[in-house]
Structure 1
Amino acid sequence: MTVAGSIILIMLGAILTWAVEVDLAGLDLNVVGVILMLGGLAGLLFGIYRIRVTRRAVGPIGEPVHSSEEPVARRTTVHEERRHYDEPPL
């Protein structure tokens, strides 16, 4: 579940809990709203945790964190497209 999806669940739960005044037989919308808010909160916490772990894991591979040596130059690939038109412009 993404962070945006979790926030949407929290918003829907809050709307059902505090803004809807409809009584349905056999269904308490306040309880459904609270369940949605708790599920959204759990998803939000898990999404933030995943983002933190992913950002912590991403970094340069094979390079020491603290080194007195100069960093190794990385290879870059440049793609160049050349077009040749044989016909004169109109």
Structure 2
Amino acid sequence: MSMGGCIILIAVGAILSFATDWHMKGVNLTLVGWIFMIVGLIGLFVFRSVGRRRGVVMPPAQTTVIEDERNRRI
């Protein structure tokens, strides 16, 4: 999930929790909104931690080349 997807989840969750007055039988929209917001926050934290790991670049291993003068043809 990208950072934009996490922000959308948080926004939709906030709308469901705080800005709606719908009542559906068998579904608590306030709870669903809170769940969306929590999942969005967890996604943001995971996205940040993975992004930090990708930022670390290891230098390539350098190999030593030794030329053998005996096998060199002129």
TM-score range, shorter chain: 0.7 to 0.9
Alignment-derived partner of residue 65 in structure 2: none
Secondary structure of 2:18's match? Answer: helix
Aligned residues, how many?
Answer: 62
The two structures have a TM-score, normalised by structure 2, of: 0.77
2:53 is equivalent to residue 53 of structure 1: yes
Q: Which structure 1 segments of 5+ residues have no match?
A: 64-90
State the shift of 1:37 in Å: 0.3
Q: Which of the two has greater helix per residue?
A: 2
Is there any run of 5+ residues in structure 2 with no aligned partner, and where?
A: 63-74
Q: Which residue of 1 aligns with 2:5?
A: 5
For 1:22-47, what per-residue CA distance to the aligned partner results, in whole angstroms no more than 9, with x for missing partners?
01111010000000000000111000
Q: 4+ residue runs of structure 1 moved beyond 4 angstroms?
A: none
Identity %: 39
Structural RMSD (CA): 1.3
The higher relative CO (CA closer than 8 Å, separation ≥ 6) is in 2
- State the distance in 2 between where 1:12 and 1:26 align: 20
What TM-score, normalized by structure 1, do the two folds share? 0.64
